[in-house]
Structure 1
Amino acid sequence: MSAIRPVIRSTVNRMNTARVPSRKSSYGHGPPADYKPPTMNELPVPQGSWQAKYDADQRKYNATLFAGVGIFAATIIGMKVTGFNFHYLPPDTYE
């Protein structure tokens, strides 16, 4: 039995080394030495009136909306004036 034990041990060792090694995703235990946990004091503090910012943003958004609607209307009117055929219906005759 003692003669078989080294053969079995070497076979098992070869089987274990044949496995593909996997790399661990952690490199140490714990945070770095210079790590300082974040606090609420590090966050930016809002300044000014939110209503003033909101109103300014809404003026900009409304101007963009009205410009888009105006350009769309001008495009449709321009196509109607120039006689662009929208092909709403099939022609009356196919001759």
Structure 2
Amino acid sequence: MNVIPGCTDRNLAKFSITANFDDGSCKTKAVTGLALGGIYQTCEPRGDTLSKDPCVGVHRANALTGKLACPDGFTSVLLHEGTGPYQTEYKQICDW
């Protein structure tokens, strides 16, 4: 049998219909009323960036945390990775 970890408590908003193994995620603190923990974007310079930082103005903080991170109880999932000549940008979504 394949093990699919997740929240197996049907009474919680974090319940995963596909989960067949309780991984403890039911017990993490939930953010009430939110099905999603926000979105944020980071950037890493690459190659020869000369004297200018190519990531200036590219970072976007999560509106829920004010940081380049997810709230407690959420996991960061890569939505998109874009590579330019001088930087790599990562768009992340915060999911259960």
Common fold: TM-score over 0.5: no
Greater relative contact order (CA < 8 Å, ≥ 6 in sequence): 2
- Which structure has the bigger radius of gyration? 1
Bigger proportion of residues as helix: 1
Bigger proportion of residues as strand: 2
TM score, norm. by length of structure 2: 0.18
